[in-house]
Structure 1
Amino acid sequence: MRAKGLLVFLVLLPMMIPPHVTAIAWIQTLGPSSPLLRSVGLAPEIGTTHPLYSREGVILLLTIQHAPLVFLVVRAALRAQPRELSDAARVAGAAPTRVLRRVILPLLAPSLVAGFALAFVSALKNFGIPALLGIPGRYTTLPVLMWQRMASFGVSILEGVAVIAAIMAGVAVIAVAVTALLQRLGRAALIGPPRPPLGVRLGSARLPVEGALWAFIAVVLVLPLAALLATALVRTYGLPLTAATVTLDNFAEILVRQGVTVRAFANSTVAAGGAALVLAALAVVIGHLVTRTHRVRRGVGRGAEALGDLAYAIPGIVVSIAFILTFLRPLPILGVSLYNTLLIIALAYVTAFLAIAVKPVSAAFAQLDPALDDAARVAGASYGRRMARVFAPLVAPAAASAAILVFLTAYNEITVSALLWSSGNETIGTTIFNYEDGGYTTLAAAMSAVTVAATVLLMLALDRLGRHLPQGAVPWR
């Protein structure tokens, strides 16, 4: 297929768009008041129940949101399969469907299980889509239930909510453990040097296959983003997008006039940026420990890496409840309270997104020659000097990639900050959600459009940086 790099980038883009923005975009795509559908005369009648306000609507959008995760895992596994196995089966006369059934899928089974687990855990902890679609459709998930109880009764109901949070955390941990077991049981050992992946010529089927893929991208990405932009450009939600109704006032309102949105952009930049810098530094230390030959230090590094994976698997709203329980009272001795401050949100980001930072840096350390460390130690360099003069410069691009990935994830998130934000400490995610929940749809759409544009620009910057990074440092490369 042509333009595979662009196709992969576009297929993965929905994963980087915040779930609540995805929900808002699809609400404005298919609803009776959709400016995009009204401008072409295809909108349902006013008063019609929105088709996505249901259990099926929640499941559909969760599928669209998390399908790129499964795609990433399966794509990496397919590229790692030795092409000799498929070539041998084809030389023996096996038809393509038989090669797929008897060779490729059995070898792919552990990766399919991993993809299922990733999708399950990600959907389990998703807050934005079930909140915006499930609440009107009377379909409540556990994260939404915890948020509703905390929003209604405050910290007085914290003990009951903590029980639900513990159940969710337990389910996530069990899912990860069962997945690891199934992968271990289904893994088949492959030997031999790495070879280029199998290439399949589509022949006359290339144009239909390419057309189907571009149509898929148009439906799941272009259409909802176009509806989001159309809503942001009309004076009042429900008007068709015409020359008479188009305006930039909504963008001026959220970027200049509204103090809460300007503050939210600043707060998210500070919290996500601070967490990204801290995690990039921690990732360098952990990545170095993981690749050490000393057994104790390597064990410490792997333990920290495992804790990061565990924290990432646990739903973000559970992490926020844990931080409330920990920092509800002032810190001992210091007497300083972190509750209702921006710092508690940044610290929660550090806990929730450690795994994202460690992966690319660990991949970079794995490619370094251990003799570098030995030579520096023989020359008398201390640990800090070795890190500053030898390792940090070599893994700096991977650390920068890790920082950008963390920033991308934290900048627009809502799951972690949904229970931690307070007046004056709003984030982009909570502000967009509050606008949509309060009926300020055009402002929510304008703010969502700005965050999507910022996300795409950061992804493009990371893509350019990825040309100089080890394989696997940037997910879509």
Structure 2
Amino acid sequence: MNEYLRRGNSQPGWLFPFVVLAVLILSALPLARLAVTGVAALMRGGAYTLITDPSLWQSTWYTLETAVIGTVISLVIGCLFAFLLGLTDLPGKGALSFLFVLPMMIPPQVTALAWVQMSGPSSPLLKALHIAPPLGSPQPLYSVGGIALLYGVQHAPLVYLALRAGLMALPRDGVEAARLSGAGGWRVFRDITLPLSLPGIMEGAAIAFVSSIGNFGIPAILGIPASIFTLSTLIFTKFSAFGPRTFGDVAVLSSIIAIISILGLAVQNRALRGRDYRLIGLSGATAAFVLGRWRLVVLPLLWGLIFIMLVAPFLALVAGALVPAYGVPLSLKTASLHAFDEILFHQSVTRVAFANSLFLASATAFGLLALTVLAAYMLTKRKDLASRVVAGLIEIPYSLPGIIIAVCFILVFAAPLPLINVTLYGTIWIILLAYFSAYFSVSLKPVMSAFLQFDPALEEAARLSGAGFFRRLIDIIVPLIAPAAGASVILVFLIACNELTVSALLWSAGTQTLGVVIYNLDDGGSADLASAMSVLVVAMVVVLMLLLELIAHRLPKGVVPWRS
């Protein structure tokens, strides 16, 4: 053999230690550092002032209130789309699913900015249509209800995807038996479909709740102007007013967010405890309900919701980018491409942001791909406890709010690295490492799906013929998993390029990302420039999603989230 192989296994001896080391650096060490800092702050008594501060408990209340209301809104909208697109004979399901998932891919600060441009007395679009509220009227979105509403819009696709996965596994023979027994459509849905869908509904609710708890872009745009602080924006303001107790305070606040998120997941598990949802029988989407004349009501309803959630906010964003200043009505006289020209050719900070985001997204997507191919290979070959622990550590950072990941990496890399005396804090490299940690799981899932469908006979034959690990990797494994690898790259690039929550705490002069610049432009009063940059970001998201759509037929099932 050309290399040392584990006995009875095709893995090289260095592979497992290499993956473990990467997971320790990207996951275990940052999380352990956060825990140690939080405990140290509590033991020193420095956290007492923070815990007794009324603003902390007010922020905690706002965090819970907006997350709970937002989760309810997400459930209503997400379940409606999942049941109607998953179980009925509606036409145009593919287009509806694609468009419904799109808001999930759009950065939350862009969503918030678009809705602000769409509502209120200064909306350029409403003024152009002569339906804007009178001047002096309050902006309705600068409120707890406004934050919760946009949480619902942003996270409804998460509920939809979680529930639809369960609906695809429903036993169609049970539904058909109920119909043959004379049960009507509504009776079948109430007594069979809905109870069996409960795990997917609960999973979607838990994901939406945790995502709302850690959301930064929406409460930053809508909450800070109204002095409504959630825990994530409170952490941001703590860092803005940096002091000797900042690290301890932020560690405690991050721990509170983590505890709330864990409790939300625990409630989900508690709700499903003692219930057996194992399904027996043929499954699939053929267990559909025929809507008949109800199509005339349901189809306009779904397209109307798509218009309200996606099309109208985007049109408002375009209108905001075409007018010279926020509040000016859009008309042929006021319309101008000045904001786009300024963003693309004259604003140095926006050019830097585009360069940084493209570099970070590309480096994260391709760097993680190389790492996840090795990790997926190892995880599919090993079935022991150690591999399950490694898989769990990979999943944890993605399940935590991005603001916690940023705090973890600040705590680890704020001081110079030992031995080499190099400081990563304040450089673009700390953002890259944080992205690696946050999106490791996103990159791994499509590749793991491909490896699970991979026939090991070809590789085993090559190994017995004397081919080394890297030769087998290049000649056999990579070509066979190439479609899933391409999907992994596009998904990670899509998410990382528009990220704000992680980089909001890690950026410094010269390392701004697109999400940071959009937030800073809006916060600085340049709504037209923020809108123009947001339009470009949305266009990029749509193009990348369409690329995924084009290669979807070559990908393992479930890799492209909006396709059945």
Pairwise TM-score range, normalised by the shorter structure: over 0.9
Number of equivalent positions: 474
Q: 403, 423, 426: which one pairs with 1:317?
A: 403
Report what 1:365 is aligned to. Answer: 451
Q: Secondary structure at the match of 1:225?
A: helix
| TM-score between the two structures when normalised by the length of structure 2 | 0.81
Classify 1:426/1:221 alpha carbon distance in 2 versus 1 (closer, same or farther; 3 Å).
same
1:220 matched to 2:309 = yes
Taking the aligned partners of 2:500 and 2:383, their CA distance within structure 1 comes to 39
Report what 2:117 is aligned to. Answer: 28
Q: Secondary structure at the match of 1:406?
A: helix
Structure 2, unmatched stretches of 5+, are 1-89
Report what 1:350 is aligned to. Answer: 436
Report what 1:284 is aligned to. Answer: 373
Range with bigger deviation, 253-262 or 386-395: 386-395
Counterpart amino acid of residue 362 in structure 1: M
Using the TM superposition, give the Cα deviation of residue 355 of structure 1 relative to its aligned residue in structure 2, in angstroms.
1.2
Taking the aligned partners of 1:150 and 1:470, their CA distance within structure 2 comes to 43
Structure 1, unmatched stretches of 5+, are none
Q: Secondary structure at the match of 2:506?
A: coil
Q: 251, 256, 259: which one pairs with 1:162?
A: 251
Counterpart amino acid of residue 557 in structure 2: Q
Report what 2:154 is aligned to. Answer: 65
Q: 516, 523, 527: which one pairs with 1:441?
A: 527
Using the TM superposition, give the Cα deviation of residue 131 of structure 1 relative to its aligned residue in structure 2, in angstroms.
1.1
Report what 2:383 is aligned to. Answer: 295
- 8 Å contact kept, 1:286–1:304: no
Q: 377, 383, 386: which one pairs with 2:472?
A: 386
Counterpart amino acid of residue 234 in structure 2: L
- 8 Å contact kept, 1:414–1:429: yes
Using the TM superposition, give the Cα deviation of residue 86 of structure 1 relative to its aligned residue in structure 2, in angstroms.
0.9
Using the TM superposition, give the Cα deviation of residue 305 of structure 1 relative to its aligned residue in structure 2, in angstroms.
2.6
Taking the aligned partners of 2:343 and 2:349, their CA distance within structure 1 comes to 8
Report what 2:338 is aligned to. Answer: 249
Using the TM superposition, give the Cα deviation of residue 192 of structure 1 relative to its aligned residue in structure 2, in angstroms.
3.5
Alpha-carbon deviations, 1:199-220, whole Å to 9, x = none?
Answer: 2222112122111111111111
Alignment root-mean-square deviation, CA: 1.6
Report what 2:553 is aligned to. Answer: 467
Q: 349, 356, 368: which one pairs with 1:260?
A: 349
- 8 Å contact kept, 1:176–1:313: no
Using the TM superposition, give the Cα deviation of residue 136 of structure 1 relative to its aligned residue in structure 2, in angstroms.
2.2
Report what 1:176 is aligned to. Answer: 265
Identity across the alignment (%): 47
1:336 matched to 2:422 = yes
Q: Secondary structure at the match of 1:291?
A: helix
Q: 273, 280, 284: which one pairs with 2:362?
A: 273
Taking the aligned partners of 1:389 and 1:173, their CA distance within structure 2 comes to 43
Taking the aligned partners of 2:215 and 2:545, their CA distance within structure 1 comes to 22
Taking the aligned partners of 1:286 and 1:435, their CA distance within structure 2 comes to 40
Taking the aligned partners of 1:401 and 1:278, their CA distance within structure 2 comes to 14
Q: Secondary structure at the match of 2:225?
A: coil
- 8 Å contact kept, 1:79–1:197: no
Q: 230, 234, 253: which one pairs with 1:145?
A: 234
Classify 1:321/1:94 alpha carbon distance in 2 versus 1 (closer, same or farther; 3 Å).
same
Aligned ranges 1:28-177 → 2 under 5 Å: 28-153=117-242, 157-177=246-266
Taking the aligned partners of 1:97 and 1:136, their CA distance within structure 2 comes to 46
The runs of 4+ residues in structure 1 deviating greater than 4 Å are 180-185, 193-196
Alpha-carbon deviations, 1:254-275, whole Å to 9, x = none?
Answer: 1110000000000000011101
Using the TM superposition, give the Cα deviation of residue 191 of structure 1 relative to its aligned residue in structure 2, in angstroms.
2.6
Report what 1:415 is aligned to. Answer: 501
Classify 1:312/1:180 alpha carbon distance in 2 versus 1 (closer, same or farther; 3 Å).
farther
Q: Secondary structure at the match of 1:238?
A: coil
1:14 matched to 2:14 = no
Using the TM superposition, give the Cα deviation of residue 300 of structure 1 relative to its aligned residue in structure 2, in angstroms.
4.3
Classify 1:154/1:230 alpha carbon distance in 2 versus 1 (closer, same or farther; 3 Å).
farther
Classify 1:154/1:401 alpha carbon distance in 2 versus 1 (closer, same or farther; 3 Å).
farther
Range with bigger deviation, 95-104 or 263-272: 95-104
Taking the aligned partners of 2:409 and 2:317, their CA distance within structure 1 comes to 34
Using the TM superposition, give the Cα deviation of residue 181 of structure 1 relative to its aligned residue in structure 2, in angstroms.
5.9
Classify 1:118/1:187 alpha carbon distance in 2 versus 1 (closer, same or farther; 3 Å).
farther
Q: Secondary structure at the match of 2:503?
A: coil
Q: 523, 536, 539: which one pairs with 1:453?
A: 539
Q: Secondary structure at the match of 2:196?
A: helix
Q: Secondary structure at the match of 2:135?
A: coil
Q: Secondary structure at the match of 1:295?
A: coil
Alpha-carbon deviations, 1:266-288, whole Å to 9, x = none?
Answer: 00000111011111122212222
| TM-score between the two structures when normalised by the length of structure 1 | 0.96
Taking the aligned partners of 1:375 and 1:80, their CA distance within structure 2 comes to 36
Taking the aligned partners of 1:445 and 1:153, their CA distance within structure 2 comes to 30
Counterpart amino acid of residue 287 in structure 2: L
Alpha-carbon deviations, 1:438-474, whole Å to 9, x = none?
Answer: 1111111001011000110011011112121011011
Report what 1:400 is aligned to. Answer: 486
Alpha-carbon deviations, 1:156-213, whole Å to 9, x = none?
Answer: 5121111111221233234335535655643422234555531222211212211111
Range with bigger deviation, 302-311 or 216-225: 302-311
Range with bigger deviation, 78-87 or 121-130: 78-87
Range with bigger deviation, 167-176 or 69-78: 167-176
1:427 matched to 2:513 = yes
Taking the aligned partners of 1:144 and 1:460, their CA distance within structure 2 comes to 33
Classify 1:316/1:155 alpha carbon distance in 2 versus 1 (closer, same or farther; 3 Å).
farther
Classify 1:359/1:295 alpha carbon distance in 2 versus 1 (closer, same or farther; 3 Å).
closer
Classify 1:399/1:452 alpha carbon distance in 2 versus 1 (closer, same or farther; 3 Å).
same
